[in-house]
């Protein structure tokens, strides 16, 4: 609903867009969202999804990382896990547990009233090939539940996962949080449009539990055939089963 209620007056995809800066990492990487997204424009395959946005990562040098798809994320995870020594695989299980907690918002905290974020507008020209950015300025917003991984967990895992697709672990996790948030917005719009209730387990949950499947595959805990069959049956996601989650996360996860 926070995304739903953003002011979009005068904005349009690749015409005039807006960025909100949510976080700057210790490495000076900036995590932003940019909206409206491309799915706000209908095409022959789908209707418009007016609350679509996309995560953006801006490096300390000012350059933007290319927009990452879930395929890109999974490639990064497989490469990172396969690069671990046998004694280091416990860190992959800890990372899988971080994604489990992200899926169910265990590490999200309610913000206080009166928050502000830095924002800027982007004006497009030449069919979207050129942009002009305004300077950052402060704007007030309503509070929401913000992601906040405990600093000791982030610090220890960062010693092993210090380069994930040319990102710090902090940036990588927050990028995935923003991707998951957008997935929820897509399904939330569908629910509102069809006058149904809240989306329950799809969106954020299925996408982040798919990350656990991918980590499990890289560890040898998930069969490729099982993972692929779920991708086919579930239209592009392959959330780990509860049995697999217990195996992959191990002692880091207590499901009772």
**Which residues are CB-contacts of 248 (< 8 A; sequence separation ≥ 6)?**
93, 96, 212, 215, 216, 219, 221, 222, 240
Percent of the chain topping pLDDT 70:
93
Q: What is the average pLDDT across 175-193? A: 83
Q: Which of 174, 157, 155, 250 is nearest to 212 (CA)?
A: 250
- 240-254: pLDDT as tens digits: 999 999 999 999 987
Q: Cα separation of 219 and 76, whole Å? A: 14
- pLDDT at position 7 over 80: yes
- pLDDT at position 125 over 60: yes
Angle between the N-to-C axes of helices 204-219 and 89-103, in degrees from 0 to 180, rounded to the nearest 10: 170
Q: Helices in the chain by DSSP H: which ranges?
A: 70-82, 89-103, 151-158, 169-193, 204-219, 224-233, 242-249
Q: pTM of the full predicted structure?
A: 0.92
- 196-228: pLDDT as tens digits: 665 565 789 999 999 999 999 999 999 999 999
Phi-psi region of 46 (alpha: psi -120 to 50; beta: other; left: phi over 0): beta
Positive/negative CA dihedral, 24, 30, 31, 35: positive
């Amino acid at each position: 609903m926070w995304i739903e209620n953003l002011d979009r007056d005068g904005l349009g995809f690749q015409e005039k867009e807006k960025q909100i800066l949510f976080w700057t990492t210790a490495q000076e990487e900036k995590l932003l969202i940019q909206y409206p997204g491309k799915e706000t424009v209908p095409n022959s395959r789908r209707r418009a999804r007016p609350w679509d946005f996309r995560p953006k990562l801006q490096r300390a040098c000012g350059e933007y990382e290319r927009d990452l798809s879930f395929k890109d994320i999974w490639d990064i995870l497989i490469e990172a896990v396969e690069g671990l020594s046998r004694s280091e695989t416990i860190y992959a299980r800890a990372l899988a547990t971080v994604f489990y907690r992200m899926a169910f918002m265990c590490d999200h905290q309610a913000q206080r009233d009166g928050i502000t974020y830095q924002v800027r507008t982007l004006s497009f020209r030449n069919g979207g090939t050129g942009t002009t950015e305004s300077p950052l300025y402060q704007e007030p917003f309503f509070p929401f539940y913000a992601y906040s991984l405990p600093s000791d967990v982030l610090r220890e895992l960062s010693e092993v996962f210090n380069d994930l697709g040319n990102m710090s672990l902090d940036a990588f996790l927050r990028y995935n949080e923003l991707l998951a948030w957008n997935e929820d917005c897509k399904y939330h719009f569908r629910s509102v449009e069809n006058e149904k209730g809240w989306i329950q387990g799809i969106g954020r949950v299925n996408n982040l539990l798919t990350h656990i499947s991918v980590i499990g595959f890289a560890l040898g805990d998930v069969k490729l055939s099982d993972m692929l069959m779920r991708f086919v049956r579930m239209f592009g996601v392959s959330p780990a089963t509860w049995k697999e989650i217990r195996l992959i996360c191990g002692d880091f996860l207590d499901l009772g």
